[in-house]
Chain A
Amino acid sequence: MSFGIRLHVWGERACFTRPELKTERFSYDVITPSAARGILEAIHWKPAIRWCIDRIHVLKPIRFESIRRNEVAGKTPKGHISKAMKNGRTDELRYYVDTNRQQRASTILRDVGYVIEAHFEFTSRADNSDSAGKHLDIFNRRARQGQCFHMPCLGTREFPAAFQLVESDDAMPEVDTALAGERQFGLMLHDIDFANGKTPRFFRASMVDGVIEVPPFAEALA
């Protein structure tokens, strides 16, 4: 890839929720391409570009942990908000957390580290002012300096992701020996097709010596 980037991300905890196990969240074994794209977008994104994940390097052994929390049970109907706007007062607009409570467990990952290899493509919203070099430079400059639009996270926002650019002449961070060999993760979310009514698309993820090759989005299974 002529304008590829490599970003090392790591954190204490992560939760890449499986769509089939989402009430009581259960994380995938590894980061999904969708979550990896979100991390890159937290650092640099413009409507003119779309990040494509090429490869994910898993650096640390896969370990799980469970945590149960009190969560709210519902979302806010917009009718309530427009009613409150009409009346011009906020005192009647509340969400009672202890009468609408659910306790949910999450099975999350512990102590994760990945290297995301990605490139970007131009979208139909790109114009003459968008050159590959420009966006690549912005991304690299920000990642190098620790700048971000908002703090990237590992799946959910309570698990922040530390990040560092892997420069083109830098060696790759070491992969834990426990990850040697081949491992199948089964069907895994690739990304959501936002252009087509938010259809999720999947791919068969397999990891060889810590490296997951991510097929192009167009080849993912709908």
Chain B
Amino acid sequence: MTAIANRYEFVLLFDVTNGNPNGDPDAGNMPRLDPETNQGLVTDVCLKRKIRNYVELEQEDTPGYAIYMQEKSVLNDQHKKAYNALDIKPEPKKLPKDVAKARELTAWMCGNFFDVRTFGAVMTTEVNSGQVRGPVQMAFANSIDPVVPMEVSITRMAVTNEKDLEKERTMGRKHIVPYGLYRAHGYVSAKLAERTGFSDDDLGLLWRALINMFEHDRSAARGEMSARKLIVFKHDNALGNAPAHTLFDRVHVGRVEGEANTPARHYADYTVTIDRDNLPDGVAVEEML
């Protein structure tokens, strides 16, 4: 497969209603917050996990689209057995003895695994040859406005242990964000794509994953999450035609007029405008969603 020939940047807007988009393990699984601004945060790795999960679902068993970094929930037992059977002799650390051989391993991994080809991976205990830097990079997503997480206490009409039987029920807690619109920035490097073979088909799949990933990530914790907008900047040149930050500045997310001081509770409380005037030469804007 031929690699993509253009550099891209993208802005993804997604929202959450009464859910926890990304729990903070440091804060008892409360939604992540930027301590300085109280804006909600969603880490890059959280979004990448969802992309992987979506690709796994869409491309199930398609050769070349396996997902390397697996979550157990999407596995069947057969895989586990095979893995266990394989997991035998750990090799001691060695210096790279054959660079060509190591390259071959890396190339094979890129060819077979979508996530290795897209995000890269640290493979093998050899240092230089087994490390893949993928073309797609994402940054932390921030909510547009500060979010105020709520703690909701819930009860369960059952107990886990027999000795607690007289208690009849247990209490639990959920942390939710009533509403939050989040903005994520991403980058696709054509030059790194050349090295991993990330193709135009892969790029199409990446866009589909970004648009649909929340549709297949429903859970009690997440509430209602959806992708609202995906704005893509395409550069003519593989190295790019304009600085990324100037392109991101063209996407403006504001509150609907007159509502600035009330809490936002719906996507309709926001307006998204894209400044298409005087785009730098060789840069095209596409709204994928």
Contact = CB atoms under 8 A, between A and B. Distances in A.
Interface of A: 12-13, 63, 65-72, 75-83, 85, 90-99, 103, 105, 110, 142, 145-151, 153, 157-160, 162-164, 198
Contact of A94 (B34, B44, B83, B123): B83
Majority DSSP secondary structure for residues of B touching A? mixed
B79 interface: yes
Interface residues of B, number: 67
B137 A160 contact: yes
A70 B243 CA distance: 32
Interface stretch (B169-177, B184-192, B215-223): B184-192
B122 A75 contact: yes
Contacts of B82: 91-92
B244 A92 contact: no
Contacts of A80: 86-87
Nearest to B67: A94
A159 B239 CA distance: 20
B188 to A, nearest CB: 9
A147 B240 contact: yes
Contacts of A163: 243
Interface of B: 24-26, 32, 34-36, 41, 43-45, 49, 63, 66, 68-73, 75, 78-79, 82-83, 85-87, 89-91, 102, 104-105, 108-109, 112-113, 121-127, 130, 133, 135, 137-140, 142, 185, 187, 189, 191-192, 237, 239-246
5 contacts: A77-B90, A96-B70, A146-B242, A151-B189, A162-B245
Contacts of A92: 79, 82-83, 85-86
Nearest to A42: B189
Contacts of B91: 77-79
A99 B72 contact: yes
Contacts of B140: 12-13, 158-159
Contacts of B87: 80
Contacts of A82: 105
A66 to B, nearest CB: 7
Nearest to B52: A97
Contact of B243 (A83, A96, A164): A164
Nearest to A103: B25
A76 B139 contact: no
Contacts of B245: 146, 162
A160 B244 contact: yes
Contacts of A71: 45
Contact of B125 (A63, A75, A95, A99): A75
Given A85-B104, A142-B239, A157-B133, 14 more contacts: A63-B36, A65-B35, A68-B25, A71-B45, A80-B87, A91-B79, A92-B86, A93-B86, A94-B68, A145-B243, A146-B240, A148-B189, A150-B135, A160-B139
